[in-house]
Structure 1
Amino acid sequence: MTTAPNGRPLSAHGILAEIGDPAMQACAEAEQRQRDRAIFDSVGAFTSTTDIYPFRKFSTEWLDLVGLPEGELLQEPTLPVLKGERIRWRDYGRELYLTKRLVHTMPNLRLANGETATYRMVMIPMLNETGAVESWTNFVGPIHLKIRPTGRLLKGLEQRIEAGHIRAARALLDWSMADLSGASGVSLSTVRRLEGCITSVSVANRNQAIGALRSAGIVFSLTDETTIAVSRGSQIAG
Structure 2
Amino acid sequence: MTINIPTLAFSSREFLRMIESFGLSGSWGWNFSRKEYVWSSGLYKLFGIEDGSVQPDYELYRSLVHPDDRLQLEDAAQILNEGLLTDHTFRVIRPDGTMRIVVSRGDVYFTPEGAPAGAAGVLVDVTSQQRASHAVRTHNDRQRAVFEHSSIIPWVWTVDGEVLHAPGWCELTGLPPEDLPGEWHRPVVAEERAAFLRQHAEHRARGQAYTLDFTARLASGEHGAFRALVAPVMTGTGTIREWTGLTFPADSTALKPRRDALSASGDERVRGLHLRAARGLLDWTLADLAKASKLSLSTIRRLEEDAEGPLARSRHAAIEALRQAGVVFTVVEGSTVAVARTR
TM-score by length of 1: 0.48
Q: Which has the higher contact order (CA 8 A, sep 6+)?
A: 1
**Greater strand percent: which structure?**
2
